[in-house]
């Protein structure tokens, strides 16, 4: 074996991450070879995976616009991802340039890319933190970096878009409730999530192969949830119209068409926006 071969075999390669796989599925450029390989493996099993990501982004855009127009002035985006077109602050600040947004992600690439595009935007910032540790998130909100952006005494929008399917059932309440339950009246939550009917749609074995890619290449499992389980995540919050629905059914007139409308089948993801009264 030559030295070169030895070097290549011992140099650690970056692992794929959910943020960068998702970036690739959306046509972004902030991804590495390992992410592209994992994303391609997923697309080989479930070609609609790219449409799932797009459908989710379009829902997020419509939800943020609706909430900004309803008067919400601060947004906490947990598991915010790598910036792409139609980021939360772009949609919200088009309604009111003073709207404040704090992005939180565990992936340093996502945080760095977010802070690059937020440069000079004093109302918005991205921080690296783990939303599965709500105490740490609450500590981070009190930090000097974030305290000028998020005020927990005022109504706040908390977004969990396409992130909670990474969390096992026995942990999810302990992750969501500590933040949800201290939000003041007038606050809102946005959740989008892969629905439980996904294995029926594309076949259980095909979907298992796709989720295996996440497990083996990005070290995460994917959990599908029923509408009943998703409704429970909102606690005492009350859903606005049209409730918890396939994403393509949530106020579709507010964005470009969801890809699943053309595909003649509903989006396999569910989403809802809910308020605390």
Give the footprint of ligand SAM on residues 174-233 (CB under 6 A): none
Q: Does residue 258 bind ligand SAM (CB under 6 A)?
A: no
- 268 sits near ligand SAM (criterion: CB under 6 A): no
Q: Which of 163, 213, 230, 247 is close enough to bind ligand SAM by CB under 6 A?
A: 163
Pair 64, 75: CB distance under 8 Å:
yes
153 vs 169, which CB is nearer to ligand SAM?
169
Rounded CA-CA distance 45/111 in Å is 30
Total residues contacting ligand SAM by CB under 6 A comes to 22
Per-residue interface string for the shown chain with ligand SAM, residues 6-25, x marking contact by CB under 6 A? -----------xxx--x---
Choice between 76 and 99, CB closer to ligand SAM: 76
Q: Please enumerate in sequence order all residues whose Cβ is within 8 A of that of 107, keeping only pairs 6 or more positions apart, or say none.
A: 17, 18, 19, 20, 82, 128
Out of 63, 91, 95, 110, the residue judged to bind ligand SAM by CB under 6 A:
110
> In whole angstroms, what is the distance from residue 83 CA to residue 7 CA?
34
| 91 contributes a contact to ligand SAM by CB under 6 A | no
| DSSP designation for 96 | -
Give strand pairing partners of 245: 271
Residue 131 in the binding site for ligand SAM (CB under 6 A): yes
> Of all residues in the chain, what percent are helix, strand and coil, respectively (each to 5)?
50, 15, 35
Q: Where are the alpha helices (DSSP H) in 70-100?
A: 88-95
Contact residues for ligand SAM (CB under 6 A)? 17-19, 22, 56-57, 60, 79-81, 104-107, 110, 130-132, 161-163, 166
């Amino acid at each position: 074996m030559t030295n070169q071969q030895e070097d290549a075999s011992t140099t650690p390669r970056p692992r794929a991450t959910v943020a960068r796989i998702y970036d690739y599925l959306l046509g972004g450029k902030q991804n590495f070879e390992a992410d592209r390989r994992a994303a391609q493996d997923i697309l080989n099993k479930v070609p609609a995976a790219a449409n799932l990501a797009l459908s989710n982004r379009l829902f997020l855009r419509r939800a943020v616009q609706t909430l900004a127009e309803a008067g919400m002035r601060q947004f906490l985006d947990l598991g915010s991802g790598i910036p792409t077109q139609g980021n939360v602050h772009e949609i919200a600040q088009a309604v009111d340039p003073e709207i404040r947004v704090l992005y939180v992600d565990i992936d340093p690439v996502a945080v760095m890319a977010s802070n690059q595009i937020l440069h000079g935007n004093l109302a918005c910032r991205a921080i690296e933190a783990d939303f599965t540790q709500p105490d740490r998130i609450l500590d981070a909100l009190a930090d000097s970096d974030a305290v000028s952006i998020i005020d927990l005494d005022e109504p706040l929008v908390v977004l969990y878009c396409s992130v909670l399917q990474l969390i096992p059932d026995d942990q999810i309440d302990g992750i969501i409730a500590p933040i949800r339950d201290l939000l003041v009246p007038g606050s809102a939550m946005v959740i989008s999530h892969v629905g439980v009917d996904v294995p029926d749609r594309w076949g259980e074995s095909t979907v298992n192969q796709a989720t295996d890619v996440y497990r083996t290449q990005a070290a995460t499992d994917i959990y599908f949830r029923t509408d009943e389980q998703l409704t429970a995540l909102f606690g005492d919050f009350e859903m606005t119209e049209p409730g918890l629905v396939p994403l393509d059914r949530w106020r579709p007139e507010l964005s470009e068409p969801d890809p699943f409308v053309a595909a003649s089948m509903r989006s396999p993801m569910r989403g809802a926006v809910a308020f605390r009264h």
